């Protein structure tokens, strides 16, 4: 995964478009990380995701479109009937695993 030597602190000017913002923008939305988490277990169809996540169609479709646009998820139609669509993580999406682990790590400590 390239070089890990660059630190968040080593950049001169904090702008709203810095890499940290890019990542948070990709993960934006209450259900986004849960969708990614599902797909880390392998490709899923739309209905499988809908069944696993108890989320409305609108929100699920919105988040999937967002993830596709960010290059995290790839969408593909499955031949045959009934029509199905499969969603899978791209290599870039797979790379989110480390990010989610870091978020999990910090959030699992007590706040007291």
Partner DNA sequence: CAGAATCCGAGACGATACTG
Partner DNA sequence: CAGTATCGTCTCGGATTCTG
Contact 40, 89 (CB under 8 A): yes
CB of 79 to a copy of itself, least distance (A): 27
> CA dist 13 to 6, 21, 42, Å?
15, 13, 38
For tokens 């969708």, what's the residue?
A: 35
Nearer to a copy of itself, 82 or 107 (CB): 107
Classify 46 in phi/psi space as left (phi over 0), alpha (psi -120 to 50) or beta.
alpha
Nearer to DNA, 6 or 21 (CB): 21
Size of the site for a copy of itself (CB under 8 A): 46
CB of 106 to DNA, least distance (A): 18
d(CA 68, CA 30): 17
What's 34's DSSP letter?
Answer: H
**What does 63 bind: DNA, a copy of itself, none (CB cut-off 5 to 8 Å by kind)?**
DNA
Nearer to DNA, 1 or 42 (CB): 42
> Where do contacts with a copy of itself occur on this chain (CB under 8 A)?
1-2, 4, 6-9, 14, 16, 18-24, 26-27, 30, 33-34, 37-38, 40-41, 53, 70-71, 92, 95-109, 111-112
């Amino acid at each position: 995964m390239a070089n890990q030597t660059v630190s968040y602190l080593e950049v001169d000017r904090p702008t709203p478009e810095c890499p940290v913002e890019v990542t948070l923008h990709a993960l934006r939305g209450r259900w986004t990380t849960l969708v990614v988490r599902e797909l880390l277990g392998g490709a899923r169809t739309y209905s499988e995701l809908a069944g696993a996540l108890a989320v409305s169609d609108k929100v699920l479709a919105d988040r999937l479109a967002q993830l596709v646009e960010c290059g995290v998820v790839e969408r593909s139609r499955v031949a045959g009937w009934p029509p199905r669509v499969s969603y899978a993580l791209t290599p870039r999406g797979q790379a989110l695993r480390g990010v989610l682990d870091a978020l999990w790590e910090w959030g699992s400590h007590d706040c007291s």
